[in-house]
Structure 1
Amino acid sequence: MKKYEELDITDSFMFAKVMSNKDLCKTMLEQILNIKIREIKYLDYEDTIQISLGSKGVRLDIYVEDDENTVFNLEMQTTKYEELPKRSRYYQDIIDLNLIEKGEAYDILNTSYVIFICTFDFFKSNKSMYEFENICINKPELKLNDGTHKIFLNTKEDRSGISKELKLLLDYFDGKEPESKLAKKIDQKVFEAKRNDQWRREYMSYQMELNQQYRNGKEEGRKEGIDDMSKLIKMLISENKYE
């Protein structure tokens, strides 16, 4: 477990705190998507979106909406989970269900982007950006136009096909010194965040919660192992009684 002082921009907790700065978040979205955004607002989902009682909640790093009601979910990924594409699908579903629960009709669901900033090349195709939309398989030029977009940024490999500003931003996320104006601003916010006592306490509480969940999971697994072993022993005893 990292100490709070050891966190950098690629740690989800730090990323979420730094990107809570509206100007930085808006500028980064503009650079990633090569668009202009007039304004963004942070959607109130109380840190975790819970679709229904008993369902699995999901904690989103950054969940914002622009002045045209386009929804953006920004996530930092440093671990190469094999199910990452399905995770993007799950996040997309969570966003849609959350919008519907707030009263939106199916036919006016917002355009949405799920964006993963990965410190690895998940698709191993030497691209800095992979963007996915739903298209017709037997007619690729025909798009479904359902308003969903999934983007995987890669801090490694080739930098061709992206802007200089985005290149420098990815370099910074890859551990290099900040060179662009945006990267320097983000790095300054990281520096300031490490001196924020309230965020330090939040991080400690967050880690305590994760540790408790880990311990509970281990204990549950241990109990299940004991139960399974007990059943196996009883079965063997029962079989031996009739031999």
Structure 2
Amino acid sequence: MQQMTNHRPLAELDLLDDFLFNALLAYPEYGKKFCRKFLKILFGREFKNLNIVTQKSYGGRDTGLHGARLDVYIEEGDEVEIDSSNVSAIYDIEPDKNNKRKDIDFIAQRTRFYHAIIDSRSLKSGQSYDKLKRVFVIFICPYDPFGDDRMIYTIRNP
């Protein structure tokens, strides 16, 4: 029995397609250049020391717990100053082409979950909470997830 696949020609893909997005970022020189430019547009500053990991997976703590696969996980070097102490930042970039209402409705919870997973793995045992890294979960969507006719939404957690 022949298995059916959903392969599409490269010409039909855009950067929101997982394959093309991850293929671009897998090449260090292009991936870093893209991430620097993308983050500069969003945050209005230069980004120099970036460590980029495509398809970073976090398994559940056991077989009964949900894990996550982050499309692009970026760690920024210790050049970010917060309250006069150098703290590195983590950026998770998620191209999201979900077109199912239930997936769109839960994007805020998905963001919260990804943020929590990153937080839970970024603080070493015995470290103070002030060492917790700043985390930015960024969804790139071809739709308006909250229906307020905006291109960029910022949701802040303490």
Q: TM-score range by the shorter chain?
A: 0.7 to 0.9
What SS does the corresponding residue of 1:61 show, helix, strand or coil?
Answer: strand
**Change in CA separation of 1:28 and 1:99 when aligned onto 2, cut-off 3 Å:** same
CA deviation after TM superposition for structure 1 residue 40, in Å: 0.4
Alignment correspondent of 1:50: 59
Alignment correspondent of 2:145: 122
Q: Which protein shows a greater Rg?
A: 1
The answer to which structure has the higher helix fraction is 1
TM-score with structure 2 setting the length: 0.74
CA deviation after TM superposition for structure 1 residue 64, in Å: 0.6
Structure 2 CA distance for aligned equivalents of residues 31 and 92 of structure 1: 22
Alignment correspondent of 2:81: none
Alignment correspondent of 1:25: 35
Which ranges in structure 1 are unaligned for 5 or more consecutive residues? 135-145, 147-243
Identity of aligned residues (%): 26
User: Retained in 2: the 8 A contact 1:51–1:97?
Assistant: no
Aligned residues: 134
CA deviation after TM superposition for structure 1 residue 16, in Å: 2.1
**Change in CA separation of 1:108 and 1:4 when aligned onto 2, cut-off 3 Å:** farther
What SS does the corresponding residue of 1:122 show, helix, strand or coil?
Answer: coil
Which digits, 9 at most, give the CA deviation of each residue in 1:121-151, with x for residues without a partner?
Answer: 11111111111113xxxxxxxxxxx3xxxxx
User: Retained in 2: the 8 A contact 1:51–1:98?
Assistant: no
TM-score with structure 1 setting the length: 0.50
Alignment correspondent of 1:85: 108
Structure 2 CA distance for aligned equivalents of residues 112 and 106 of structure 1: 13
User: Retained in 1: the 8 A contact 2:50–2:77?
Assistant: yes
Paired amino acid for 1:121: D
Aligned-residue RMSD, C-alpha:
2.3
Which ranges in structure 2 are unaligned for 5 or more consecutive residues? 1-5, 79-87
